[in-house]
Structure 1
């Protein structure tokens, strides 16, 4: 599917906080795209957003938007519970959709989109912008060349802080609306990048807890992952960590490559350390970029792919692998057993929902009642 207009005609559904990041990115890409319409159940908010970003069409109903507008791409920036229904609407309208994470609340829900894409041929993409930063792209190229040797150890940490008041928003911290806690809504960006670098995972052993936040979901999870290539990784997702940081470290046979940032990185946040005797590998890194990883990089790559008639990323199958890692984290934590890739079948409770119906503190709450 290719873009048929000189500039891509784009709409944004949902005009809350994250939609502004999308709109600012599209403004920076105004030679390639224009925001022609917005939709939000809050008409006043939609109107203010449209005026700010120059969109002519204003709708309070997504179906009406698709009926009235000729679009090349739609950005879905609504709460997670609505992602799949809106993406299905876009597919039926023949419009590729870029969906904020998490793309779906469960594997079974995501598989509805997979089936719809197979039928309609209309792609649904997930926002995983950290894959598109210059350093991540460079690392993938160098690692894929074999110059760094085999990956052996990795560390993936999303140590963030969200006060109790953060969860006053009705859809936050609820399994049925948000899909999960920091594993689904926060750390997923970091471990998606880890998976993009290391490739297929084979087994996960995990723990999850509700340490102190007023949520139904976890506020911390910790996982140990094994990969098909033999690498081992630790993954920590937290919203109770006062000193906030996001950190990824990859230890290859011949070098360590790591990044520490918070919500976006540039080359200056990365370090490259060759192993003794392999100092010449530093010449391959040459990190000089200044742009911070963000929505603009991924959106530009999507627009370019649509124009070229190529398959844009991050596609539905990549998204499913990342979502399956989240599901395996929960399944292992709540069942107390390792989970292998592919083990969560369509009839499994953890395919139907990320809590699997066996969250320990939910049972305790029910017993107390």
Structure 2
């Protein structure tokens, strides 16, 4: 019986498992991850504003794995050998496979001096809860929101959650505290942060920032340092009692110990079929992968789902002695939530749609509940 190993337990891995099992009921699937818990990352934006608690967003994958007849191996990967056919864990356990799907996600680049004085929302539940506690402790002050990218990997950034959290905190303060006692600031080393959403969406973001009285503290200037109460760029510096910052992304550290092809930005190089360049029956999907993609290509759960399907179908074809030629289309799909409404942004290489409505806040909530119900 053929054994497919999947490294990682996030959106990309879940998608791959679903499509593998849909097309082959007997295939052996082994999932390797440090934890069998799943975290619904898109809703971390609601932890600081009390719309969600941790228990609402995290749960064990045990039922999902059982239903799909997946063997779970708990561990951290050390390296990959034998052309991808062997995964070595940190405890030296070796796991053989007939095909390998790498879906480990990425890690944040923590190279700016004093970055430990900031909070990175998407690092996980603990970080989101820490932001919530810090926000609770403030009766007034300056709250700053910012994000940056990976200069060597143009698509390796995650700015959407920062806009959502910033707008959400603004709405939350208006309803639960005295908004007039707080100054909200936005910063980014990018000249036009959010432009990957498209010109119309970007203009809408800037207009919303201004309408909500959020100060644009710095754009287009390199970030130099964070202190406990200050943000310093090459051109300016400003006070900040709470700094929420999303750094750029790169690949996990263990990739450096392999002979996998890596981009300059530290991601696994893969082709349009999600195959790792130069490797047989080895695939990279989700945030850890680097593709020949448009400059607006997103690192988000929606694309991870799409890539997971393509990798699964190509993997099955390759194992059957065929050449899998399934590809995927680049799509950016998100709802930029504000707690009291939202803006839908949908972008492909041919189309761009931007729609704003109070209903979209509830659409985002319903999608979260539906996805969690499907997996749980």
The answer, yes or no, to whether TM exceeds 0.5 is no
- TM-score scaled to structure 1, two decimals? 0.28
Task: Please identify which structure carries the higher helix content.
Answer: 1
